[in-house]
């Protein structure tokens, strides 16, 4: 996942890698996150991986370097390339986050994902309510309208929902909150994954109502109300993701 929104766009059918380099990165990266390549183990040697993926040594080595930069692998002289501990994984990397969508459920990871949102997004929303501009409100209302017109298209609805949260993160003018794009998108993907497969319009209407309240609180400059409304949208996402 390189562009914001690409993970949500893939929910109706996983996108294929664009080239050999991307394919190797995706296969090994997803394999690490899913446990197919267990933590602490050494990857097969270059010759085996080149044969498995039908790529050149150059393509393989570049892919492994990319995964090292994401914290998933570590190369050790005379030992080989090992799968790194979870504490080294770059969980703010959009691709690393995206690979968790198809991995076996991890209660600690999911809890942490929503806790990060609960900790920072309400702060961002309250800050936006304090110094909102007319242009920002117009953009938020535009995405609310897109949600309204996409009640029969869960994927488009999900994208509009995510764009609304992106506008709020941007409008807070806090680079650390902007760094949450991947976290916010993955949380939305977990929430909307089953709805894309089995649409439930009444569930989307409930989501829409909560976002209308959020934008209304921002428009009124109600900082405490905005904070509470954002917390409600995050909690609702969590409940939908858990199927409760």
Q: What pLDDT, on the 0 to 100 scale, is given for residue 19?
A: 87
**Residue the block writes with tokens 């504490």:** 87
Q: Evaluate if residue 15 carries a pLDDT over 80.
A: no
Instruction: List pLDDT tens digits, range 130-151.
Output: 999 999 999 999 999 999 999 9
Confidence of residue 4 (pLDDT cuts 50, 70, 90): confident
C-alpha 3/C-alpha 17 separation (Å) is 14
- pTM, rounded to two decimals: 0.90
**Across 76-84, average pLDDT:** 91
Angle at CA of residue 172, ends 170 and 175, nearest 5°: 65
What residues are paired with 6 via a beta bridge? none
Nearest-10 Cα torsion for 7, 9, 15, 21:
-50
**Cβ(96)–Cβ(72) under 8 Å?**
yes
**Cβ(192)–Cβ(154) under 8 Å?**
yes
What residues are paired with 42 via a beta bridge? 82
Q: Give the CA distances from residue 88 to residues 69, 78, 93, 130, in Å, rounded to whole numbers and listed in that order.
A: 10, 21, 12, 37
Classify 40 in phi/psi space as left (phi over 0), alpha (psi -120 to 50) or beta. left
């Amino acid at each position: 996942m390189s562009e914001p929104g690409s993970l949500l766009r893939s929910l109706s059918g996983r996108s294929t890698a664009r080239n050999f380099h991307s394919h190797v990165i995706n296969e090994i990266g997803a394999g690490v996150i899913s446990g197919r390549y267990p933590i602490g183990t050494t990857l097969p040697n270059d010759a085996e991986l080149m044969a498995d993926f039908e790529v050149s040594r150059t393509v393989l080595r570049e892919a492994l370097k990319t995964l090292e930069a994401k914290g998933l692998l570590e190369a050790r002289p005379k030992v080989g390339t090992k799968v790194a501990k979870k504490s080294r994984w770059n969980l703010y990397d959009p691709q690393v986050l995206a690979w968790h969508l198809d991995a076996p459920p991890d209660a600690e990871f999911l809890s942490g994902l929503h806790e990060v949102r609960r900790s920072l997004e309400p702060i961002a929303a309250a800050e936006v309510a304090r110094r909102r501009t007319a242009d920002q409100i117009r953009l938020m209302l535009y995405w609310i309208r897109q949600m309204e017109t996409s009640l029969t298209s869960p994927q488009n609805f999900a994208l509009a929902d995510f764009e609304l949260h992106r506008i709020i993160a941007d409008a807070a003018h806090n680079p650390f909150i902007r760094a949450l794009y991947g976290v916010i998108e993955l949380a939305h993907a977990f929430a909307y994954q089953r709805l894309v497969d089995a649409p439930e319009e009444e569930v989307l209407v409930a989501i829409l109502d909560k976002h209308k309240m959020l934008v209304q609180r921002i428009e009124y400059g109600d900082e405490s109300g905005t904070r509470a409304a954002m917390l409600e949208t995050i909690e609702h996402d969590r409940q939908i993701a858990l199927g409760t």
